[in-house]
Amino acid sequence: MKTSATLLAAALALPFAAAKVSYDGYKAYSIESHNEYEAVEKALESLEWVNLACTDNHDHLDIAVAPESVEAFEALGLDFKLVDGDFGAAIAEEGKMKKYKRTVKRQDGPAPLPDFEFFDSYHPFEEHLEYLEDIHAAFPDNSEIFVAGESLEGRPIQGIHLWGRDGPDAHEAIIWHGTVHAREWIVAPTLEYILYKLVDGYKKRSCSSVRALDNYSIYIMPVVNPDGFAFTHESTRLWRKNRQPRAGTTCVGTDVNRNWPHQWDVPGGSSTNPCSETYRGLAPGDTPENAVLTNHTLTIAEKHGLKNYIDWHAFSQLILLPYGYSCSAVAPNNDYQMKLAGGVEAAIRSVNGLTFTYGPTCPTIYQTSGVSMDWAFDIAGAELAWGYEMRPLTQGQGGFVLPPSHILLSGAEQWAGAKYLLANM
């Protein structure tokens, strides 16, 4: 089976390889498995294709087929639907980036907030760091840049800490992580949109922002897998994992969101295969990125208490609650979490009409083990620990590859949900 792990072996054999992968001529398909998922995979073994959605829900398979395999694929007799006849063009459109124009710092006071043009395109990793620095420059008395640690390749795992009138240490913490899965480009600018709205609103004395920052200590980390994210820009757009090599295999990378040191080895919720998109690692917490995130989160939780943790993802339009590792385990405050999630969903839906499904992860979608949400709830003591899957709903609507025009749409939706959550939890 020539999925992304083997199809791109030459580029992925070394952690620092950055040969640019082209998707020109690829076509995207959704295949119905009819409870014969393994048979479908076997039928694809001789073809060149890339997996476009990583789930353990085996009712269908979303793939992009290389141009030299399209004719053979369509002759297999599978129950498929063409969802994008020019997948390479979608990648090219998404990749039209505008250079971020940084704000000019003033000597006599705070800098202006960054220009809203930042949200007109996607940006490389370095420009996300610059954006956080410019937000801090515009809000110097109520924010700080922090570096929780470094990735395997030495990139900073960086965020921004916001607070209100009572200072940085006065209230319970909120921690929001983004882009643990590298290919989910819509996540970082969506979080940065929320960040902008919080700061702009506080400066203008907007009730929602003032109430949020005067009652919580908020930590926002838009890109917690910087090596993987940089790799999606430099080489392989659909890369998911970190860039950690392992002995005895040419397959690179661990799924950092199957590596959290809690319920890590529960059968069925992750993979022991280093070539799998959901490879959990050799031991719980054995990725550099996870070690940084667990240490930082525990430090903040012990210092402030942890009111809310969210791990932001795309796609599928979901609000996921504990637990992922078990379909029978129920969070003690599940009713409270469900009520809040319903309110968040209604707030999101009010913006553009998109509906989000919400509920405990395992019974709502599928089993996931070693995930951040379960760890944050059980180990870090978060009162609310959620995972978001943002727009779009399906691969046919763009999947991981969304035009930049979706950034403002996603930002407005998630800002509405965040305002509701911050006001009601």
Q: Which residues are catalytically annotated?
A: 389
- How far is the C-alpha of 280 from the C-alpha of 263, rounded, in Å? 11
* C-alpha atoms less than 13 angstroms from C-alpha of 27 in its C-beta half-sphere: 17
Q: How far apart are CA 68 and CA 22, in angstroms?
A: 13
- Measured CA to CA, the distance from residue 81 to residue 29 in angstroms comes to 6
Q: Alpha carbon of 319 to those of 210, 231, 329: distances in Å?
A: 25, 28, 18
**Class of residue 9 by CB neighbours under 10 A (exposed 0-12, middle 13-18, buried 19+):** middle
Q: How far apart, in Å, are the Cα atoms of 157 and each of 125, 126, 222, 414? A: 11, 12, 9, 23
Exposed e or buried b for every residue in 53-62, given b needs 16+ CB within 10 A?
bbbeeeebbb
Backbone angles phi, psi at 143, to 5 degrees: -155, 160
- Sequence letter at residue 83: V
Tokens 């932001």 belong to which residue? 312
Rg of the chain (C-alpha set) = 21
Question: What residue type is 196 in one-letter code?
Answer: Y
DSSP 347-393: HHHHHH----EEEEHHHHT----S-HHHHHHHTS--SEEEEEEES-S
Query: Which is nearest to 109 in space by CA: 133, 145, 132, 138?
Result: 138
Q: Cis peptide before 392, with omega less than 30 degrees from 0?
A: yes
Contacts of 167 (CB under 8 A, 6+ apart): none
Cα three-residue angle 246-252-253, rounded to 5 degrees: 90
Q: How far apart are CA 79 and CA 66, in angstroms?
A: 18
Helices and strands in the chain, H and E counts: 14, 12
Residues paired with 2 in a beta bridge: 48
